[in-house]
Amino acid sequence: MRSLLTLFVAAATVAAASPAAADVSSWLAVGGGYGLEHNAVASRTDRATALGFSLGVGSSPRNPVVVGGMLRTMTFFTLGTDLSLAARVASGGFARGQWGLAVDVGAAGRWWKQGDYGSYPLQGIVTLGAPWGLQLALGAHFWSIGGDPVARGGFAMFEVDLLRLTVMRHGATDRLWYNASPAGGE
């Protein structure tokens, strides 16, 4: 009898539930740029061209402030590749593919050059977003969760966010290229 009552309550709950209307912000960017990283063991700063990819998801793009998470890979040619996980806070305009700003803060895994550049640096990135998915990312590496040697470095990247260009795009750019079904709705 008890299991029958439990089944009835579960069925009534499912039948009475309203449809979900959740929407999320999404980011998928690729770009290139230039970086400087300090080799603490050799006491020199090395330069390298950089290639980056980032993927992330956040709260509704309708919100004035969007909170989410980012996974980023950054290859510094001649040095190595970082893999980072970060929290992101972005303006609603940025999330909707218009003018806006995003700030990422997290940690990177750096398993190259015997840790001479810091093994697990903290990473901060400020991204200025423009319409059509164009964005400029300025980042810094500092300290090291893994202990000495500490990381010191930075980079500048010009990126194109493919989702801010297409699915997430909503606003003034609709006059030139209409987005019939933007994330977050009309």
State the Rg of the chain over Cα: 21
Tell me if the pTM is above 0.75: yes
Instruction: Give me the pLDDT at residue 4, please.
Output: 63
Q: What is the pLDDT of residues 81-94, one digit of tens each?
A: 999 999 999 999 99
Which CATH architecture does the domain made up of 24-175 adopt? Beta Barrel (2.40)
Sequence ranges of the domains in the chain: 24-175
Q: Which of 77, 94, 98 is nearest to 33 (CA)?
A: 77
Buried b (16+ CB within 10 A) or exposed e, 50-86: bebebebebbbbeeeebebebebebbbeebebbebeb
Q: What is the pLDDT of residues 118-150, one digit of tens each?
A: 999 999 999 999 999 999 999 999 999 988 899
DSSP lists the bridge partners of residue 161 as 29
